[in-house]
Amino acid sequence: MPVGQSEQRSFKNIIVTPLHVKGADSLYFNSIITEFTDSWTQRWSPTNVYGRMDPISYYSGTGRELTLGFRVVSDDVRESELNMEKIQKLIQYQYPTYKSLRGAKVLQSPPYFRFEFLNLLKSKTSGDVLEGYINGAIQISPGFQTKDQAQFFSEDYKNIYFSDVTITLRMQVLHQGTIGWTGKEFTHELYPYGVGETEQEPTAQPSRPTQITLAVDAADPDTAAVQKTTDSEKRDKIDAAAREKNREKVRRKPTQTVK
């Protein structure tokens, strides 16, 4: 195998969640990123006018499209079987959901997904995920063309499990919120990759006992005098308590009779 054991890898999870299937489980792929292209396209509609050299153009929006490729690598038969099940489920999620209406199936929701991967697949506009739909083909390449990639088989040799699969897809990102400038301020400072200074929430102060502590400033003679007087009063109280205790012992001591 061209990679080490599972515990030796530093793979991160690509998380794919279908939003059109109610209650569907998310798919977690331990993957290596092989392709990543993030593109933004401004949409303008030009209109040519008689006698004007340049068209009158109308801005309609800015779109974001993302191309993602990643490898799903397996070290043994069991892991390859589990990964194949995830890939199979990912393909099933490419189809819409239906509902029954008078005995007929009616289209209810088209395929729609949520993607997560570190700070690259995050919207930073509404939550920390990226939502959209797969625009175009999703390609599954099991790597049969290379000789150094072994494939796994079931015990009865009736099923083949891919050991190293490359998945490529193109996603049309749907922005979650209004993005743009207000004066010199951008609406979402950490868009799109979450890089930069983050606002830290104030930490809660630990609870303290109800005790008053006088802070002394050596440069302030009035404060120092107050502290000195307070310390002197404490010592006088301690000495008085000790003297009273000694007198009490003397009073309680029995008198001896001289014969």
State the total domains in the chain. Answer: 2
Q: In this predicted structure, what is the pLDDT of residue 73?
A: 86
* Residue 26 placed within a domain: yes
Express as a percent the part of the chain with pLDDT over 70: 68
Residue type, 173: V
What mean pLDDT do residues 76-105 have?
91
Q: Does 175 reside within a domain?
A: yes
Tokens standing for 156?
Answer: 């009865």
- For residues 100 and 178, state if they share a domain: yes
In angstroms, rounded to a whole number, what is the distance separating the alpha carbons of residues 259 and 247? 27
Q: What is the mean pLDDT of residues 112-132?
A: 73
Strand 97-101 to strand 104-109: parallel, antiparallel, or no bridges (unpaired)?
Answer: antiparallel
Residue type at position 120: L
**Cis preceding-peptide flag for 209 (omega within 30 of 0):** no
State which of 186, 204, 235 marks the end of a domain.
186
pTM of this prediction? 0.64
Q: How confident is the model at residue 170 (pLDDT cuts 50, 70, 90)?
A: very high
Tokens representing 3? Answer: 């990679």
Q: Are residues 231 and 130 in the same domain?
A: no
CB 14 within 8 A of CB 122: no
Q: Is residue 204 domain-resident?
A: no
pLDDT of residue 6: 46
pLDDT band at 56 (very low <50, low <70, confident <90, very high): very high
Domain that holds residue 69: 8-46+58-186
Q: What is the pLDDT of residues 81-91, one digit of tens each?
A: 899 999 999 99
Residue 252, pLDDT above cutoff 60: no
Burial class (CB in 10 A: 0-12, 13-18, 19+), 248: exposed
How confident is the model at residue 125, as a pLDDT?
55
- Which pLDDT belongs to residue 251? 60
Q: Which of 144, 168, 186 is the last residue of a domain?
A: 186
Q: Locate 91 and state its tokens.
A: 């393909």
Give the pLDDT of residue 161. Answer: 85
For residue 127, the model assigns a pLDDT of 54
Does residue 169 share a domain with residue 101?
yes
Q: Does 254 map to a domain?
A: no
HSE-up of residue 169 (Cα within 13 Å, Cβ side): 20
Poorest-pLDDT segment among 135-144, 165-174, 201-210 = 201-210
